[in-house]
Structure 1
């Protein structure tokens, strides 16, 4: 009987001790959440038909890795066209910048000299020798006319005496008419030489000389600055169009912008993808964080403070975490939040970034954030 009482007494004392310990011993300040990562949705600004898919879901890739390639369609031909257009615009800009060649300037100067010589010739009028030569040709024409007249008169008498034929007199009359016309022509030539150059001819020749001189001065000064700027703008526009097309060409290869994990990918060669539409998603493995909810009585924390984070996969290897976000407004406890202080019905959302240099952690893992290990951040 005594032993039974003693045993019951010990049991009661043990229970009371446990109650006292559980009441006065503080519970560990820990909240739980899931490890998350930034999700990046990748696509192409040009779209088109899928040529190759080079990765699979769950694959870890490095930054710059080509994930999906699209068919170029007509981009290559359009690129060649714009390359040639740029070359033409560049050559035109260089031509305007260089100005006129020396040979072109010399040709313009020779044109001035030629027209000036013509003007001087018209201004001076005919030479004395030309006038004397014209008088000589007129005198010769008159002598020929006189001889033709005499021959015609003689044959006319002979025809009356039946000593010459009708054909002979006809030939003589034709020679007389030709000689008369020649006298008129030679007289007009002499008159023109004696009258000198017409006023209108001098004005025309003067205008031609001035036109040639102005053209030569334009060549000396080169092209206008506005023309050079216009050629430069056309060259730059062609360059910009080529650069834009090459940017589109680069969009044919969808590359990873980060070191990450391919999360969702449902593409096959031959599939059509729209421009600007996401075709796959990735998780940033270098930017892991825990979303957790802290009760009101544990809100005494600051952004930048250090905490300890543990996961079930590595219970003996804690990770260093930094509080990077604390919500300013409380919310009711979400149904998926696990906390040892269930009496608090309103909580504050926090974000804890994790350092994982050993590449142990994965998005989706359950993680515990130990608030009692907080320290001031630097």
Structure 2
């Protein structure tokens, strides 16, 4: 009986020792996760009808590669219209900056000289020779009047003796009346010359001369600063409108912002897309990272800390990752995460960026984050 109990006791002792050892040495601490990449959802601020689709799902793309093109509709016509408007505003602005042409200034000078000469003429009044000529014309008119008067009197006497006809007498009377009127005209002409130029005419001529002088000064000084600034602002407004149209044209071509892989694309030429709505998504494989969850007793991990990573697809190779995010609040362990700790415990989400992956890793690969260098929190 004793011989049978001793081996049983020995077996039980060995079993208890193994259980105690397993509890004492839990092995390396690690958490599992999946490699992920940033998803970039691309679209256009304009929207419209799809003209061409240049890529397919799963295709590798490079930065600035055109993925989808939309139809321009009336953007080309609006761009041409704004280009012509800008050219007009630019020409107007250059005209204001350059000022008046030399020919325009010379014309203004000639007009001023003409008006100044007219003013000087009015101020000087009639010349002596003009007055003498007017007197001579008056003397001639008076002589003609006297001759016509003598002829009319002679014919009147002849008519009394029936020596002349009534028609000749009437003609002589008319010539006398014309001579009298001519004398009055010549007398008034002489009176005007003797009186000289009226003051109103001189003031009018002086005003026109001053107006011409100011117009010449305006041309010589050029346009006002405010006018130049207004023309410049109008030119800049036209340029801004044209730039806006050209940016809208750029939105017609949906380009890749970085190297990556087309993940989701369901477009065909002719499809309508809404403005600002995503039309395809790209995975940015240049920045791979692991999402993992650590238990509460491992919250000593800090942002910026380097941790070793192991990837199932590269057995025996160790990669390095840098912690870039640690959640501030805990959550229940997700169903697809395995840790050596009890799954009923709450965990903290962390994000580890993979360093120097060498373009060998792909999103979706499983990865283990080793926490040996992180002390256990009490």
Scaled by the length of structure 2, what TM-score is found? 0.89
The count of corresponding residues between Structure 1 and Structure 2 is 372
C-alpha deviation, 1:15, in angstroms: 5.8
Query: Distance between the aligned counterparts of 1:357 and 1:337, measured in 2?
Result: 23
Query: Distance between the aligned counterparts of 1:152 and 1:275, measured in 2?
Result: 108
C-alpha deviation, 1:63, in angstroms: 0.7
List aligned pairs for 1:144-155, cutoff 5 A: 144-155=144-155
1:123 aligns with 2:118: no
Match of 2:249 in 1: 249
Match of 2:352 in 1: 352
Match of 1:274 in 2: 274
C-alpha deviation, 1:160, in angstroms: 4.3
Does 50-59 or 359-368 show the bigger shift?
359-368
Query: Distance between the aligned counterparts of 1:77 and 1:170, measured in 2?
Result: 87
C-alpha deviation, 1:66, in angstroms: 0.6
Query: Distance between the aligned counterparts of 1:365 and 1:174, measured in 2?
Result: 132
List aligned pairs for 1:356-371, cutoff 5 A: 357-371=357-371
Match of 2:66 in 1: 66
Are the structure 2 counterparts of residues 63 and 168 from structure 1 closer, same or farther at C-alpha, using a change threshold of 3 Å?
A: same
Are the structure 2 counterparts of residues 46 and 165 from structure 1 closer, same or farther at C-alpha, using a change threshold of 3 Å?
A: farther
RMSD: 2.8
Q: Deviations over 1:37-56 (max 9, x none)?
A: 21222111222221111111
C-alpha deviation, 1:328, in angstroms: 2.5
Query: Distance between the aligned counterparts of 1:150 and 1:268, measured in 2?
Result: 118
Match of 2:137 in 1: 137
Are the structure 2 counterparts of residues 167 and 71 from structure 1 closer, same or farther at C-alpha, using a change threshold of 3 Å?
A: farther
Whether the 8 Å CA contact 1:296–1:344 is kept in 2: the answer is: no
Query: Distance between the aligned counterparts of 2:374 and 2:57, measured in 1?
Result: 37
Query: Distance between the aligned counterparts of 1:348 and 1:332, measured in 2?
Result: 8
List aligned pairs for 1:178-197, cutoff 5 A: 178-197=178-197
Match of 2:301 in 1: 301
Match of 1:334 in 2: 334
Query: Distance between the aligned counterparts of 2:343 and 2:49, measured in 1?
Result: 57
Query: Distance between the aligned counterparts of 2:297 and 2:323, measured in 1?
Result: 17
1:28 aligns with 2:49: no
* SS of corresponding position for 2:363: coil
List aligned pairs for 1:48-63, cutoff 5 A: 48-63=48-63
Scaled by the length of structure 1, what TM-score is found? 0.89
Are the structure 2 counterparts of residues 114 and 189 from structure 1 closer, same or farther at C-alpha, using a change threshold of 3 Å?
A: same
Query: Distance between the aligned counterparts of 2:246 and 2:356, measured in 1?
Result: 38
Match of 2:259 in 1: 259
Are the structure 2 counterparts of residues 183 and 26 from structure 1 closer, same or farther at C-alpha, using a change threshold of 3 Å?
A: same
Q: Deviations over 1:90-143 (max 9, x none)?
A: 222222222223332232222222111111111111011001111111122222
* SS of corresponding position for 1:315: coil
